[in-house]
Amino acid sequence: MNISELTELCKRLDCNIKEECLLSEYITFKFGGACRALIDINSAEAASELLKYIKKNNMKYAVLGKGSNVLVKDEGFDGIILHFGNDFADIRTENLTIKAQAGAMLSAVCKKAQESGLSGMENLFGIPGTVGGALYMNAGAYGSEMRDVVKSAEYIDENGNIRTIFADDMNLSYRHSIFAERKCIITSVEIELKKGEAGEIKSAMHECMQKRVSKQPLEYPSAGSTFKRPEGSYASLLIEQCGLKGFAVGDAQVSEKHSGFVINKGSASCSDVLELCENVRNIVSRKTGYILELEPVVLE
């Protein structure tokens, strides 16, 4: 892997690059080793050029936003991280639409909608992560999903070309999208909303956030909901029925507040979390017949 040549390309593209970057600082679980290099993306064009270079040179890579749905192994990631964060987080409104770069926080997009008197994202407020990551996994809560509001998106295809796609072609379903199917990189999201009253929208967002605070263990590092909802039931219900609230491996624990969350009580490692999740899956499968699927992505 020619890091010096990659560094020169980043310099030309005005992208910041950090070698041997510790990823525990970039994921919400607060653990994980280092990557070979992390690049802060600042434009779709830069992302396109970097991806073409990485693929041409057969480099291992992964895309990271806020890291709210990601696990990084203790030994780290032996590849390049394309990081979509504050350098690529512009949010603009025009009439009933919002266009946000992929690194913008979803909560910031929700606030922008509220300030602009645009309704439709209230139930999405408080979901951690970037708007790009939210669309990639069709994030949702309290009966609302990204597919309810997205109009179109700009993305980089498998060959590094910048494309545009409309909502009807995104194959959006529960925690799934065409972007995940094809491992494409979302660079911006266009959202279409309805006119509303800013005060009422703010109250609805506050109510939504209060639900999260009262029901979820937000005081601890986690990756949010740890398991996908199995057809016909709920992961948290099954885990609770199996008596696994508070079950722990090291400092990784099934939350006593919400059994759908695995939390880091202080110094949990990725190995602790993966072992805990595998134990939970095995016990739930044996006792209920349901097979739980991990929701966060493990960087391999």
Over residues 153-203, the pLDDT tens digits come to 999 999 999 999 999 999 999 999 999 999 899 999 999 999 999 999 999
User: To the nearest whole percent, how much of the chain has pLDDT over 70?
Assistant: 100
Amino acid in the structure at residue 45: E
Averaged confidence pLDDT in the chain: 96
Is residue 203 annotated as a catalytic residue, yes or no?
Answer: no
Residues in the chain: 300
User: To the nearest whole percent, how much of the chain has pLDDT over 90?
Assistant: 97
> Do the beta carbons of residue 128 and residue 138 sit within 8 Å?
no
Confidence of residue 23 (pLDDT cuts 50, 70, 90): very high
Q: What is the average per-residue pLDDT within 104-116?
A: 98
Cβ contacts of 31 within 8 Å, gap of 6 or more = 24, 72, 74, 221, 264, 268, 269, 270, 273
Distance CA 38, CA 19 (A): 6
pLDDT at residue 166, as a whole number: 98
Is residue 173 annotated as a catalytic residue, yes or no?
Answer: no
Looking up tokens 């509220």 gives: 114
pTM of the model: 0.94
Distance CA 54, CA 51 (A): 5
Distance CA 78, CA 38 (A): 11
Q: What is the average per-residue pLDDT within 264-276?
A: 97
Annotated active-site residue in 48, 177, 188, 225: 225
Looking up tokens 């992505």 gives: 297
pLDDT at residue 1, as a whole number: 74
Annotated active-site residue in 36, 147, 175, 281: 175
Q: Is the pLDDT of residue 2 over 90?
A: no
> Do the beta carbons of residue 155 and residue 184 sit within 8 Å?
yes
CA distances from 39 to 29, 57, 157 (A): 20, 16, 19
Is residue 175 annotated as a catalytic residue, yes or no?
Answer: yes
Q: What is the average per-residue pLDDT within 238-247?
A: 98
> Do the beta carbons of residue 127 and residue 134 sit within 8 Å?
yes
Confidence of residue 255 (pLDDT cuts 50, 70, 90): very high
HSE toward the beta carbon, residue 177, CA cutoff 13 A: 27
Question: Which stretches does DSSP call E strand in the chain?
Answer: 17-22, 34-40, 61-64, 70-72, 77-83, 91-94, 97-101, 118-119, 140-141, 144-145, 150-156, 162-166, 185-192, 194-195, 222-225, 248-249, 252-254, 261-264, 297-299
Q: Which of 254, 247, 240, 249 is nearest to 287 (CA)?
A: 240
